[in-house]
Structure 1
């Protein structure tokens, strides 16, 4: 079986888990403004490949401890810039900043390598999302990030908020103002 076929099979098997987990989420944390979109969550609507171009900043001074940082660290891990899944802790420290700058050099060019995941960096990352199941116009949408080393699955609810699995079987909202993930 090809690597791509294995990724698709893995992602498809995660669909049932994502659907159940998203439906099981009944409460959300208090709102706080994101840096660009004004939302407290990684969010989107319509075509998922342009969802993240207005996301808030995650770096060593903004949203340092957050579930949004967990999602960013999953991207870095998926592309091989964080070598261990154990480094996904939701804390944007120096290792994450270095990995972010290296990711930016590779995907965006040296001039963009500031080590901060802002709207341009997030917007570049959402180009690597691919469709798994659901609807782009209403209801649950399941997508996966197509990393160079690994893929991982995300869900976008009817409310537009993204959710992610944290490796322990839990699914969390990708918020900027709290950290609940653990790998």
Structure 2
């Protein structure tokens, strides 16, 4: 027969285990990522923020706000038109990505993975109007994109229609 003390101890252990599991649960991660975060993320200096971003291509995070941000980069470098910024990584974005990769001397496979995001991140600069370190600019060959980081380090940007968006891998509002 199991004593009341043993039952109480077992119940306490089960409750503590459930609590630890609940506390350690993280937000949904992005599929095909290096950082495992659900958002395009950064901290500290801007130029290394995108060194561990997830993949956006025709197989990973295909329809997402992270894809929309990537399309803004392609637009800033003259590889897409503003009307192409829709958050859907289709054949037009794949071809534009391959051209961008060739231009910036990254292996050209049409997929924005770690090396491609890292090369793009080299063109992030502090903005003159961002005194607190949360505002940056992507300096494209054709246009400049202003981006911000919130208090959690998540990137925000304006989509092709000028609406504010957060650069997440797991949802699409562009």
TM-score range, shorter chain: 0.7 to 0.9
The runs of at least 4 consecutive aligned structure 1 residues that moved more than 6 Å come to none
Q: 1:172, CA displacement in angstroms?
A: 1.3
Q: What residue number does 2:157 align with? A: 164
Q: What residue number does 2:171 align with? A: 178
Q: What residue number does 1:81 align with? A: 79
Q: What residue number does 1:18 align with? A: none
Q: 1:32, CA displacement in angstroms?
A: 2.3
Q: What residue number does 1:146 align with? A: 139
Q: 1:152, CA displacement in angstroms?
A: 1.1
Which of these two proteins has the greater Rg computed from alpha carbons?
A: 2
Q: 1:125, CA displacement in angstroms?
A: 0.2
Give the RMSD, CA atoms, in angstroms.
Answer: 1.4
Instruction: State the Cα deviation string for residues 4-41 of structure 1 (Å, max 9, x = none).
Output: xxxxxxxxxxxxxxxxxxxxxxxxxx942131101000
Q: Is the 8 Å Cα contact of residues 83 and 160 (structure 2) preserved in structure 1?
A: no
After TM superposition, the score normalised by the length of structure 2 is 0.80
Which SS does the other structure have where 2:38 is aligned? Answer: coil
Q: What residue number does 2:68 align with? A: 70
Q: 1:144, CA displacement in angstroms?
A: 1.1
Which of 96, 106, 113 is equivalent to 2:93? 96
Unaligned 5+ runs, structure 2: 1-25
Q: Aligned partners of 1:96 and 1:167: how far apart in 2? A: 14
Number of residue pairs matched? 145
After TM superposition, the score normalised by the length of structure 1 is 0.76
Instruction: State the Cα deviation string for residues 53-101 of structure 1 (Å, max 9, x = none).
Output: 100000000000000000000010110111x200000000011011101
Q: 1:167, CA displacement in angstroms?
A: 4.3
Residues 101-120 of structure 1: pairs in structure 2 closer than 5 A: 101-109=98-106, 112-120=107-115
Which SS does the other structure have where 1:69 is aligned? Answer: helix
